[in-house]
Amino acid sequence: MSKVRIKDIAEIANVSIGTVDRVIHNRGEVSQETRERIQKLLKEHSYKPDILASSLALKRQINLAVVMPRLVNEHAFWKLPLSGINKALEELSHYKISIKTYYFDQFNTDDFVHRVKNFPYNNIHGILFAPVFQEESIAFLRRCEKEKVPVVLFNSLLDDPYVKSFVGQDAYHSGYVAAKLINYGIEPKRDVAIINLSARKEHYAHIISREKGFRSYFEEHSGRLNHLLTIDLHSVDDQKLHSRLNEICSNYDLAGIFVTNSRVYKVAGFLAARGSMNVRLVGYDLLPESIDYLKRDYIDFLISQKPEEQSFRGLVSLFNLVAFNREPDEKQLLPIDIITRENLRYYKQ
Amino acid sequence: MSKVRIKDIAEIANVSIGTVDRVIHNRGEVSQETRERIQKLLKEHSYKPDILASSLALKRQINLAVVMPRLVNEHAFWKLPLSGINKALEELSHYKISIKTYYFDQFNTDDFVHRVKNFPYNNIHGILFAPVFQEESIAFLRRCEKEKVPVVLFNSLLDDPYVKSFVGQDAYHSGYVAAKLINYGIEPKRDVAIINLSARKEHYAHIISREKGFRSYFEEHSGRLNHLLTIDLHSVDDQKLHSRLNEICSNYDLAGIFVTNSRVYKVAGFLAARGSMNVRLVGYDLLPESIDYLKRDYIDFLISQKPEEQSFRGLVSLFNLVAFNREPDEKQLLPIDIITRENLRYYKQ
DNA sequence: AATATTTCCGTGTACGAACACGAAAATACT
DNA sequence: AGTATTTTCGTGTTCGTACACGGAAATATT
């Protein structure tokens, strides 16, 4: 039961350590026959490399890239993954590693395509990618596949066999959880609004999934379905937003609002300005602005996507893949943490 | 900025690696003068040992002990830390480590005192301890201090300077969070019960803290204070419990119940038997029985203490302390996770 | 002064895997 | 047959630290 080392395998097989090593790393230069013999032995003795020793001995330089939306004007969400990237950089500082970040304009398909075209594929050993544009992203994956650069996704899921791993949240279930929280807090027969505050909703598969999850909760539970309304607001202008929301408030008996992304603080701002405290408000992510409204009770619950952890785990997975050939889980689904004013302190940063 | 190694320090100080090593590990046999000189250099260059190399080179055998309540009859809670212990054992399997568990009867002070008396202090390098009896536990700590065996606590906090670290949850705030959840879900002017289902409440400091946290939420918020009642039920007998609860239900307009520990499933069982679905119920921990009632919507929220993670992190901290002299944080407070039927899957085991 | 004892410090090996280098064996080519 | 080339494999060093061992220097003892 004691751990089997390369040396042990080598002795059993009557070959040298070097040969076993070559088999393990597919470095070739081993005869068909002995390779198979050793592979069999490795399996039989269920050889697992010693993580510590491997790490210590690793000499290769490893270059990773992160491809994600640029931090434009207001959508502060994309700041958050950066701290995860830095944390990963620290955690992996024993190694010879470089992480370079490539930003693209999340509202401009052409920009993305252009950035990806001049990508230094042969200097990069792995890519952590936050996809936005469905088709173009798939095309990017095809290119990576051709260039044999492994890709790990975070934040948003692309259904493609070449993706080595996805780190993120199940969007559907997060919407489902949000629905529970709102339904739990309000009396029956009152109205609930789903607000999409996204410039271009169709770009975000997970926003759609969240709404679906939210709605399906109500389908399965108390018949509040005919009190559900979806509002798409593409404008980022606060003036317009407020007047639109005002209008809705007077037309409906709003008891709860679900904002399908991190811009929930905008709706909270409206509620605060209007002074209406008894509308349940649930949204996403721990942006500073949202935290502020959470503390002041204008937001009741936030669901964290854990963006720092997403990028962190994504990078670590990617590194382990390219450095040690350790295959990550296909999906790394992070828990759907429910954050309130009262437990916030344990989730911040 | 590149990492400084023992070798570098040795060269600068014009001594050998061995000497620097002796200084680092306080192994003596170094003259006062050179010791101080090297210590100064270590600080100046902010030397940090390479974790990987240290681990690989560590040859000492390390024996840890866990001291915790025995898994008696019903209080299944104490099963949970065991999986954390096993996980730690696995994680640390690269090392020469042994973990031995010592159980005591959590309802019998004498039993605890007796077990602790014949403790093999000189074979044990560190103790992970879940205290129950205040005074006797402090006495135990004194003994450990005398024998120079470091102690890390989990689950329940003892205020003692000798404790190297505490891994657990802030009980007060967890009660506070529970109050938010109940208050959020019910209409004003209805009654809320706090139920202590503990054989001997006074033994559990954290049960008292939870109640305090719960009450203080209501003190700070909507004046529901005169609708709050505390019920101490020492009996474990289901018959008695049900009749007592029945009695309460008819005397009060109960809209919410907070059970201050993992026995919340007992109250859920009562509600299920009675068929009353519209009482909000919040309690602790992911016991299988409670999970079952959570799934059936008799329990609305569970707050997890993460017992597996407590014991896991406790052991890892303890190991790092005795093996590498890495001081753990004084308090390792785990997040107060809010678990519902809808996000349960991401928190199970 | 010679020997014993203590204090102080350097050397060497081990940990397990990665990888460079080069040697031996097998095969191909003239 | 002799040389060149390729395939196959073994040896040795490296990563940074832990620790055993033993040697030299300083001090004490007779």
Residue A1 has pLDDT above 60, yes or no: no
Q: Is strand C less than 7 A from the beta carbon of B52?
A: no
**Of A203-207, A311-315, B99-103, B159-163, where does mean pLDDT reach its minimum?**
A203-207
- Tell me which of B235 and A28 has the higher pLDDT: A28
Longest CA–CA span in chain A (Å) reads 84
* Tokens found for residue A23: 């088999």
Q: Residues B50-79: what's their mean pLDDT?
A: 88
Q: Are A226 and A163 in contact (CB under 8 A)?
A: no
Out of A3, A55, A342, closest to residue B180 by CB:
A342
Nearest CA of chain A to the CA of B72: how many Å? 32
* Nucleotides of strand D lying closer than 7 angstroms to a protein CB: 7-12, 14-21
- Check residue B211 and give its pLDDT: 95
Residue A261 has pLDDT above 70, yes or no: yes
Q: Is strand C less than 7 A from the beta carbon of A148?
A: no
Determine the distance between A62 (CA) and D10 (C1') in angstroms.
Answer: 28
- Check residue B239 and give its pLDDT: 85
Nearest CA of chain A to the CA of B347: how many Å? 7
Out of A176, A342, A343, closest to residue B342 by CB:
A176
What does the mean pLDDT of chain A come to?
90
pLDDT in tens, A239-254: 888 888 888 888 888 8
Q: Give the A:B interface size as CB pairs under 8 Å.
A: 79
* Tokens found for residue B103: 């159980």
pTM equals: 0.90
Q: Are B309 and B333 in contact (CB under 8 A)?
A: no
- Check residue B98 and give its pLDDT: 93
- Check residue B265 and give its pLDDT: 94
In this structure, the strands spanning B191-196 and B228-232 are parallel
- Check residue A107 and give its pLDDT: 84
**Closest C1' nucleotide to A56's CA:** D15
What's the rounded Cα separation, in Å, for the pair B111 and B103?
Answer: 10
- Check residue A329 and give its pLDDT: 96
Q: Is B260 exposed, middle or buried (0-12, 13-18, 19+ CB in 10 A)?
A: buried
- Check residue A59 and give its pLDDT: 85
Determine the distance between A51 (CA) and D10 (C1') in angstroms.
Answer: 25
**Chosen from A3, A52, A54, A172 to mutate, greatest number of chain B CBs within 10 A:** A52
What's the rounded Cα separation, in Å, for the pair B125 and B97?
Answer: 10
**Angle B38-B42-B44 (CA atoms, 0-180°, nearest 5)?**
110
Q: Is A300 exposed, middle or buried (0-12, 13-18, 19+ CB in 10 A)?
A: buried
**For residue A58, how many other CB atoms are within 10 A of its CB?**
16
Out of A179, A185, A217, closest to residue B184 by CB:
A185
**Of B189-193, B216-220, B223-227, where does mean pLDDT reach its minimum?**
B223-227
- Check residue B297 and give its pLDDT: 92
In this structure, the strands spanning B337-339 and B301-304 are antiparallel
* Tokens found for residue B306: 């993460």
Residue B156 has pLDDT above 60, yes or no: yes
**CA nearest to A5 within chain B:** B94
Residue B291 has pLDDT above 70, yes or no: yes
**For residue B156, how many other CB atoms are within 10 A of its CB?**
21
Residue B226 has pLDDT above 80, yes or no: no
Q: Are B6 and B18 in contact (CB under 8 A)?
A: no
Contact across the interface for B56 and A51, Cβ inside 8 Å? no
Contact across the interface for A340 and B180, Cβ inside 8 Å? yes
A11 membership: H or E segment, kind and range: helix A6-13
Q: Is strand C less than 7 A from the beta carbon of B278?
A: no
Specify which residue's alpha carbon is closest to the C1' of nucleotide D26: B31
Q: Is strand C less than 7 A from the beta carbon of B98?
A: no
Specify which residue's alpha carbon is closest to the C1' of nucleotide C10: B16
**For residue B114, how many other CB atoms are within 10 A of its CB?**
12
Distance in angstroms between the alpha carbons of the first and the last residue of chain B: 41
Q: Are B73 and B63 in contact (CB under 8 A)?
A: no
Highest mean pLDDT among A268-282, B62-76, B295-309: B295-309
Determine the distance between A174 (CA) and C9 (C1') in angstroms.
Answer: 63
What residues of chain B lie within 8 A of the CB of A56, using their CB?
Answer: 50, 52-53, 56
**CA nearest to B348 within chain A:** A335
Q: Residues A31-50: what's their mean pLDDT?
A: 91
Q: B279-308: b or e for each residue (b if 16 or more CB lie within 10 Å)?
A: bbbbbbbbbebbbebbeeebbbbbbbbbbb
Contact across the interface for A52 and B52, Cβ inside 8 Å? yes
What residues of chain B lie within 8 A of the CB of A333, using their CB?
Answer: 346
Residue A104 has pLDDT above 60, yes or no: yes
Residue A206 has pLDDT above 90, yes or no: no
pLDDT in tens, A82-98: 999 999 998 898 899 99
Determine the distance between B29 (CA) and C2 (C1') in angstroms.
Answer: 27
If you compute the radius of gyration of chain B from its CA atoms, what whole number of angstroms results? Answer: 25
pLDDT in tens, A278-293: 899 999 999 999 999 9
Contact across the interface for B347 and A333, Cβ inside 8 Å? no
Nearest CA of chain B to the CA of A210: how many Å? 14
Q: Are A227 and A165 in contact (CB under 8 A)?
A: no
**CA nearest to A338 within chain B:** B338
Contact across the interface for B338 and A336, Cβ inside 8 Å? no
Determine the distance between A16 (CA) and C24 (C1') in angstroms.
Answer: 14
Out of A94, A179, A345, closest to residue B50 by CB:
A94
Out of B177, B187, B343, closest to residue A336 by CB:
B343
Q: Residues A143-150: what's their mean pLDDT?
A: 94
Residue A203 has pLDDT above 70, yes or no: no
What contacts B185, CB < 8 A, 6 or more positions away?
A184, A185, B256, B280, B300
Residue A236 has pLDDT above 80, yes or no: no
Residue carrying the six token digits 């007998």:
B237
Q: Residues A165-177: what's their mean pLDDT?
A: 97
What contacts B245, CB < 8 A, 6 or more positions away?
B267, B270
Contact across the interface for B342 and A217, Cβ inside 8 Å? yes
pLDDT-derived band at A202 (thresholds 50, 70, 90) equals low
Percent of chain B exceeding pLDDT 70 equals 95
What residues of chain B lie within 8 A of the CB of A343, using their CB?
Answer: 173, 177, 335-338
Q: Residues B103-108: what's their mean pLDDT?
A: 89
What contacts B220, CB < 8 A, 6 or more positions away?
none
Determine the distance between B247 (CA) and C28 (C1') in angstroms.
Answer: 98
Determine the distance between B27 (CA) and C5 (C1') in angstroms.
Answer: 20
